Chains A and B, each alone.
Chain A
Amino acid sequence: MFGYMIKRFAYSIFTLFVIITITFFLMHAIPGNVYNSEKNLPPAIVENIRAKYGLDKPLSEQYFTMLKNTLKLDFGISMKNRGRPVNDIITEHFPHSARLGIFSITLCLFIGIPLGILSALKKDKWQDRLAMIIATLGVSVPGFVVAVLTQYLLGVKLKWFPVIGDKTIYHLILPAIALSFLPISFIARLVRSSMVEVLEQDYIRTARAKGLSERVVIYKHALKNSIMPVVTYLGPLIAGVLTGSFVIESIFNIPGLGRYFVTSISNRDYTVTMGVTIFYAVFLVLMNFAVDVLYTVLDPRIKLKN
């Protein structure tokens, strides 16, 4: 168990190293210098600026400097927002994204799983059909469409929810719905199919034969095994909520890191784009590692060979 964890962790670190290297060389493949857009700068000033960001040094030296700085969790200085460290930007904006993300993931689990269970228990009845129709729609409608439609209909027209910002939990409801619509559908389908499978297993028949009540059979015996696939889906779920937030935060005007990331792309603020990409990559790879460990702890059937 411990050996597996160390191996898995080393693997994550190696993945991160590859990610950082790819990011670095991709960003440096962008031709010209970053101040191309500001045409009036005299060459001497451009040289100065390049020297300030270390862009005048050989590529290999820049690479190792960056690697060292990344190890120290230092992502450099914004190129557009003069002198502002990328770390500052991350610590200021990421909490907004994290709050929205945690709320959305909670929503996903607390709606998706019960929906899947209901479907499985009422298999082929109207409840199941309805839930599966909603789930099929859910995987087909992009998050930004859900966001804009609900913002317009429930926010602007009916005035049930606030339309922009993230001051209170109440403000987070619409963006969280938009972010979790697709994962809810996915989780519901996942739980339904695994629950249907589990309910046919021998140990469920044994539990029923012992005379246990239906409630105990389902919630104590069947549920545990049927939500295991959801644990494996947690990794992609976190990644999906994170990337989904790029547009959702823009639509709902939430000052999160996703919105800042998108702005940095259109502003050609390359250090911010690179820093945030690496930050997100580190975050997601570590999350995946945590989910993997959680999975092996929860499911003793998994053999820890490999």
Chain B
Amino acid sequence: MQLSREELFKPLNRQRDNKAEVATRPSLTYWGDAWKRLKQNKVAMFSLAVIVLIFLAAIFGPMLSPYSYSQQIRGEENLGPSLQHPFGTDSLGRDMLVRVLYGARISLSVGVVACIINLTIGIFYGGISGYFGGRVDSIMMRIVDIIYSIPTMLYVILLMVVLKDRLDNLLKLPVFSGLQAAGSGLISIYLAIGLTYWVSMARIVRGQILSLKEQEYVTAAKTLGASSFRILVRHLIPNSLGSIIVTTMLLIPDAIFTESFLSFIGLGVDAPVPSWGSLANDALGSIRTHFYLLLFPSLAISITILAFNLFGDGLRDALDPRMRK
């Protein structure tokens, strides 16, 4: 039996079925798509909420507290956790809650400032190296290789020793009176971490740029006469932003970790300014009798680093599904 064309194919009823021609879902940008994927990841969203909470507590907590971080309340030394002092007080009668909250300011600021320095150096170094390629690239990458094989922590420590002494003198100059409040310890932590951790960022940016610069739109931009700088800043860096953000998110916990380590060995912030590491260090002497003094700062460090790690993992999965393991 032969089938005619009309029997095999039914014409589409344009009046009724024209919806079939319309995209049912709104088109999504790269960022919209990533956000959608991130929202589905419950762990990452919960971590994000925790991070936001910690930031809010760090910013507003010390303002709302009736005590200041250096205020010593006579007669209320070494109190355990109570309604009045939820985290207890230390041996000088200082409220631990406000000290832990203030420590959050210090630790988070280290994470953020160190990351900004890393980002700036890393993006430009990696960007220039990747974009120009050839001899420039191989020389710049050799330098990175050498820095990479230098044990980081040793150099952070050495830099801290040197910077602290230098800054102590510099801060006495009237020009820097505004920075005095931060203290030489904190500023040297910013610089020491910022100056040593940019290497991995530079490597990642370079890798991205190397592969992106072969794309047609870069050729098009070149044909139109765009300058190298413009191509780098307007085309290549924005397109590698995904992996830059992920690397940054995973660098923040590293920086916080390093800060607490340095403060713990006594190289960090200057007393009486508290950081989580210095609080934990201060608590060591009285650990057998006043365990809570150690417990709260330790919990604060661990929860913050955990939240950043989990959120960073989620962000990586959302921004670049190919990297998912």
Known: A140-B302, A148-B298. A29 touches B166 (CB 8 A): yes
Tell me if B151 and A23 are in contact (CB < 8 A).
Answer: no
Q: A142-B301, A281-B151 are in contact. Are A273 and B288 (CB under 8 A)?
A: no
Q: Which residues of A contact B161 (CB under 8 A)?
A: 30, 265, 273
Contact B288 A148 (CB under 8 A): no
Q: A15-B150, A140-B309, A284-B151 are in contact. Are A148 and B165 (CB under 8 A)?
A: no
What chain B residues lie within 8 Å of A18 (beta carbons)? 146, 150
* Neighbouring A residues of B162 by C-beta, 8 Å: 26-27, 29-30
Contact of A246 among B150, B265, B291, B302 (CB under 8 A): B265
Does chain B have a CB within 8 A of A102? Answer: no
Chain A residues with CB under 8 Å of B155's CB are 22
CB of B150 within 8 A of CB of A19, answer yes
Q: Taking the complex as formed, is A294 at the interface, i.e. its CB lies under 8 A from any CB of chain B?
A: no
**B171 CB to nearest chain A CB (Å):** 13
User: Within 8 Å of chain B (Cβ to Cβ): is A293?
Assistant: no
Select A250's contact among B166, B169, B257, B265, beta carbons within 8 Å.
B265
| Count of residues in A whose CB is under 8 Å from the partner chain | 45
Q: Is A298 an interface residue (CB 8 A)?
A: no
Complex interface: chain A residues within 8 A of B257 (CB): 142
Contact of A145 among B154, B265, B280, B309 (CB under 8 A): B280
Q: Tell me the B111-163 residues at the A interface (CB within 8 Å).
A: 146, 149-155, 157-159, 161-162
Q: Does A239 contact B (CB under 8 A)?
A: yes
B253 close to chain A: CB less than 8 A: yes
B191 at the interface (CB under 8 A from A): no
Q: Which of A15, A27, A148, A280 contacts B154 (CB 8 A)?
A: A280
Is the beta-carbon distance between B294 and A280 smaller than 8 angstroms? no
Residues of A within 8 Å of B302, CB to CB, are 137, 140-142, 145
Chain A contact surface mostly: helix
Contact in complex: A247, B261 (CB < 8 Å): yes
A23 to B301 Cα, complex, angstroms: 31
* B310 CB-CB contact with A under 8 Å: yes
Q: How many residues of B contact A (CB 8 A)?
A: 38
B266 in the interface (beta carbon within 8 A)? yes
The answer to the question of A106 belonging to the interface, with a C-beta cut-off of 8 Å to chain B, is no
B261-A31 in contact (CB<8A): no
Contact (Cβ within 8 A) A26 B149: no
Task: Give the shortest distance, in Å, between B62 (CB) and chain A (any CB).
Answer: 23
Question: Any chain B CB within 8 A of the CB of A51?
Answer: no
Query: CA–CA, A30 to B291, complex, Å?
Result: 38
Which residues on A sit within 8 Å (CB–CB) of B266?
Answer: 262, 265-266
Residues of chain A from 188 to 221 with CB closer than 8 A to chain B in the complex: 193, 196
Are the C-beta atoms of B294 and A136 separated by less than 8 Å? no
A172 at the interface (CB under 8 A from B): no
Q: Is A75 an interface residue (CB 8 A)?
A: no
Other CB < 8 Å A-B pairs besides A136-B309, A142-B261, 14 of them? Answer: A15-B146, A19-B150, A30-B161, A31-B166, A136-B306, A140-B302, A141-B301, A142-B302, A144-B261, A148-B287, A148-B298, A152-B287, A152-B288, A288-B149
22 contacts between A and B (CB under 8 A): A14-B146, A15-B149, A29-B162, A30-B165, A31-B169, A137-B302, A139-B309, A142-B257, A142-B260, A142-B298, A142-B302, A145-B280, A145-B301, A148-B280, A148-B294, A239-B151, A247-B265, A262-B266, A265-B161, A277-B154, A280-B154, A288-B149
Mark B residues whose CB is within 8 Å of A: 146, 149-155, 157-159, 161-162, 165-166, 169, 253, 257, 260-261, 264-267, 280, 284, 287-288, 291, 294, 298, 301-302, 305-306, 309-310, 325
